Amino acid sequence: MIQVQLEDGFLRVLQEVMEHPACLIQRKTKRERKQSLLEIRLTKEIQNLLMSPCCDAKRLKELAYARAAEQYQHTVIDDSDFQTEKLLYLLNHTPVPTKFDSHLLAETMRKVVVAKEGYLEFHFKNGYQRKIWIKEE
């Protein structure tokens, strides 16, 4: 029963997006990357070492590598623009589906949430989200 509702909801969402593809283009707010406590501590250690009269080059190198590793661990990659381009290209080169296509679902969606409140939440690969109320049979 839920599979039929999911397939129907997917077709409805996809048809809406294909009629109004501009909804996929999202307005972004610039997020500043926050430093971790370890990164802040390492930065202070590096600064203190650089200010000291006898700078230990080996220790400085270790601290710099440790800070770079910490920054890398907390880097957030935002590929939403790339995913939007891929989605728009795919949808422009795909006829409006009349029946469920699992391949198209896999190519367009990151996940689908079945909410106990009676709706499906479709999460497109670029971050766009759309809720569809489940039609009762």
* pLDDT recorded at residue 136: 63
How does pLDDT run across 43-75, given as a tens digit for each residue?
A: 999 999 999 988 899 999 999 999 999 999 988
Helix/strand/coil (H/E/C) assignment for every residue in 51-101: HCCCCCHHHHHHHHHHHHHHHHHCCCCCCHHHHHHHHHHHHHCCCCCCCCC
Count helices and strands (H / E) in the chain.
Answer: 5, 3
- CA separation, residue 97 to residues 11, 22, 83, 102 (Å): 7, 19, 21, 11
Which stretch of DSSP H or E encloses residue 44? helix 37-51
How does pLDDT run across 23-45, given as a tens digit for each residue?
A: 998 766 666 778 999 999 999 99
pTM tops 0.85, yes or no: no
* pLDDT recorded at residue 42: 96
* pLDDT recorded at residue 1: 72
